[in-house]
């Protein structure tokens, strides 16, 4: 790390320290749950929050998708998973003032690099999975593993005393991920693990799940012999639900309350969110933006269209700004292999050439046999790309618009932001087709 990088890191730490004290060290008055991983973090946060609310607790939430303080919920329009410049501490203070007992905080590797987790005094650390996304930013995969481990290392902070209760430190890890033993090895008072592959983890209390039935609208699954229903689609969301159940067990939430909490989560905005505007095919908006999430998303969509012998039509793209350049070809290959049509468009090019970014993705799709002008289209303008995807759809097909989810901007050029929401644009373009 060079001098400039060290100075920036110190400055971030100084700002986080100052905010911690300015806003009254609010994490000392909350049970703080941190969720880290490559994919599924936002959905896991929402499911955890709903389980705790069903258990009778007042909850605050900070995630890529949304913010919540008690009964108030609103979309995250900051284009940041973890807020900077003291905003996290301010939000935690507001949670305390609103009477929240829990704060669920999506904890990103970028946020950890910039010390935004300072002063959060985590009580529960949750690990979902680990892919290679952001490994370049951390200087390699081993550094990424280490930096994510800082969330679990934070469990060594002093235990809190809240309402005459000493709050135990708890780790929760996905036993199906190869890195589970690494994070389960960190010190904690209680260790929990969860698995959809019947993979108990030595030394941990386990939530073992299995899928009983899947439909176009959700899943019925078992967890430790109890039946649950989830009203969101995808096997990967069952894994997220198992994480929430493990957290619920660790916090003493009754099983029936957890069942009710999971049932209440209908759609997590921008995560496998189906858009209904009167069309005779399905359209879904999803935040998937790296190889692991692409594989999970498109495998799920292939299973859905198989029932009606439909096609998957994918709108894909990747951020600029020098972010994870190496993943672009792999993303194109996955879409080229698992989708029937691939449309490559801009996501957030920042100062990079959007055509260069798109070509990296398109090259991956071509390696899987996609042909330009037939089942592969490079359309930089995102609205035009979405329009092209919708024009290809028929009964039984699914159009998947990926990579942005609920992001409220397209970032281009020197700090320029164009107001945007994939969900709104998809709805507008469907309605435009229906009026013709």
Average pLDDT over residues 223-236: 94
Binned at pLDDT 50, 70 and 90, residue 366 comes out as very high
Least confident of 128-132, 289-293, 344-348, 372-376: 128-132
Which of 109, 135, 117, 126 shows the shortest CA–CA distance to 52? 126
Do 284 and 314 form a contact (C-beta atoms < 8 A)? no
Residue-level length of the chain: 436
Averaged confidence pLDDT in the chain: 92
Q: How confident is the model at residue 322 (pLDDT cuts 50, 70, 90)?
A: confident
Q: Per-residue pLDDT for 301 more than 90?
A: yes
- Of 92, 102, 83, nearest in space to 32 by CA: 102
d(CA 300, CA 216): 10
Q: Is the pLDDT confidence value at 115 over 90? A: no
- What is the enclosing helix (H) or strand (E) of 192? strand 190-195
pLDDT at residue number 402 = 97
Give how far Cα 292 sits from Cα of 64, 172, 254, 335, Å.
18, 21, 33, 12
Q: Which residues belong to CATH 3.90.190.20 in the chain?
A: 273-435
Q: Can you spell out the DSSP letters for 283-346?
A: EEEE---SHHHHHHHHHHHHHHHHTTT--EEEEE----TT--TTHHHHHHHHHHHH-SEEEE--
pLDDT score of 57: 98
Task: Locate CATH 3.40.1190.10 in the chain.
Answer: 9-263
Q: 144-201 pLDDT, tens per residue?
A: 888 889 999 999 999 999 988 899 999 999 999 999 999 999 999 999 999 999 889 9
Residues 384-433 pLDDT 10s: 999 999 999 999 999 999 999 999 999 887 778 899 999 999 999 999 99
**What's the confidence (pLDDT) of residue 192?**
98
Q: Which of 262, 269, 193, 167 is nearest to 221 (CA)?
A: 262
- The pLDDT of 17-46, averaged and rounded, is 92
Percent of the chain with pLDDT over 90: 77
Write down the pLDDT at residue 7.
66
The distance between the two most distant Cα atoms of the chain, rounded to a whole number of Å, is: 67
**pLDDT level of residue 108 (50, 70, 90 thresholds):** confident
User: Is the pLDDT score of 61 beyond 70?
Assistant: yes
In tens, the pLDDT along 304-313 reads: 999 889 999 9
Q: For residue 138, what pLDDT is reported? A: 54
pLDDT at 30 (0 to 100): 97
**Per-residue model confidence as pLDDT tens digits over 125-151:** 999 999 766 555 656 678 788 888 999
Q: Does domain 273-435 have CATH number 3.90.190.20?
A: yes
Q: What does each C-alpha distance from 11 to 21, 113, 137, 141 come to in angstroms?
A: 16, 12, 18, 25
Pick the CATH number of 9-263 from 3.40.1190.10, 3.40.50.300, 3.30.1120.80, 3.40.640.10: 3.40.1190.10
Among left, alpha and beta (phi > 0; psi -120 to 50; other), residue 333 is alpha
| Structure-token match 């800082």, residue found | 150
At 272-295, the pLDDT tens digits run 999 999 999 999 999 999 999 999
- What is the pLDDT, as a whole number, of residue 137? 61
Instruction: Give the separation between CA 38 and CA 294, rounded to whole angstroms.
Output: 12
In the prediction, which pLDDT does 11 show? 76
pLDDT at 135: 56
- The secondary structure element, H or E, covering residue 229 is strand 226-230
């Amino acid at each position: 790390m060079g001098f400039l990088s060290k100075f920036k890191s110190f400055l971030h730490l100084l700002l986080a320290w100052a905010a911690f004290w300015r806003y009254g060290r609010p994490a000392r008055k909350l049970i703080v749950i941190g969720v880290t991983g490559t994919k599924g973090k936002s959905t896991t946060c929402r499911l955890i929050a709903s389980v705790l609310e069903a258990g009778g607790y007042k909850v605050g939430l900070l995630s890529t998708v949304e913010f919540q303080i008690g009964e108030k919920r609103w979309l995250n329009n900051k284009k940041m998973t973890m807020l900077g410049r003291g905003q996290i501490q301010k939000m935690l203070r507001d949670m305390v003032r609103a009477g929240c007992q829990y704060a669920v905080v999506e904890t990103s590797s970028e946020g950890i690099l910039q010390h935004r987790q300072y002063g959060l005094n985590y009580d529960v650390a949750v690990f979902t999975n680990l892919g290679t996304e952001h490994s370049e930013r951390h200087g390699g995969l081993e550094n990424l593993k280490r930096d994510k481990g800082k969330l679990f290392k934070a469990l060594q902070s002093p235990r809190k005393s809240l309402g005459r209760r000493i709050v135990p430190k708890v780790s929760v890890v996905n036993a199906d991920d190869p890195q589970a033993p690494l994070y389960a090895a960190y010190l904690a008072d209680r260790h929990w693990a969860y698995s959809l592959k019947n993979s108990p983890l030595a030394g941990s209390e386990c939530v073992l799940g299995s899928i009983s039935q899947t439909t176009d609208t959700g899943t019925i699954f078992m967890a430790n012999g109890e039946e649950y229903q989830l009203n969101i689609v995808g096997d990967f969301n069952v894994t997220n639900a198992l994480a929430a159940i493990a957290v619920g067990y660790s916090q003493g939430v009754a099983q029936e309350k957890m069942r009710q909490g999971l049932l209440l989560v209908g759609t997590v905005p921008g995560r496998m969110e189906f858009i209904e505007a009167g069309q005779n095919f399905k359209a879904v908006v999803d935040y998937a933006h790296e190889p692991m999430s692409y594989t999970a998303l498109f495998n799920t969509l292939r299973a859905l269209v198989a029932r009606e012998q439909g096609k998957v039509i994918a709108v894909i793209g990747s951020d600029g700004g020098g972010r994870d350049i190496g993943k672009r070809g792999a993303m194109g290959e996955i879409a080229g292999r698992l989708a029937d049509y691939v449309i490559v468009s801009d996501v957030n090019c920042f100062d990079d050439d959007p055509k260069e970014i798109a070509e990296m993705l398109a090259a991956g799709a071509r390696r899987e046999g996609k042909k330009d002008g037939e089942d592969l289209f490079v359309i930089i303008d995102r609205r035009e790309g979405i329009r092209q995807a919708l024009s290809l759809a028929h009964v039984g097909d699914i159009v998947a618009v990926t990579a942005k989810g609920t992001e409220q901007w397209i970032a281009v050029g020197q700090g320029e932001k164009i107001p945007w929401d994939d969900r709104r644009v998809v709805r507008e373009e469907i309605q435009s087709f229906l009026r013709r």
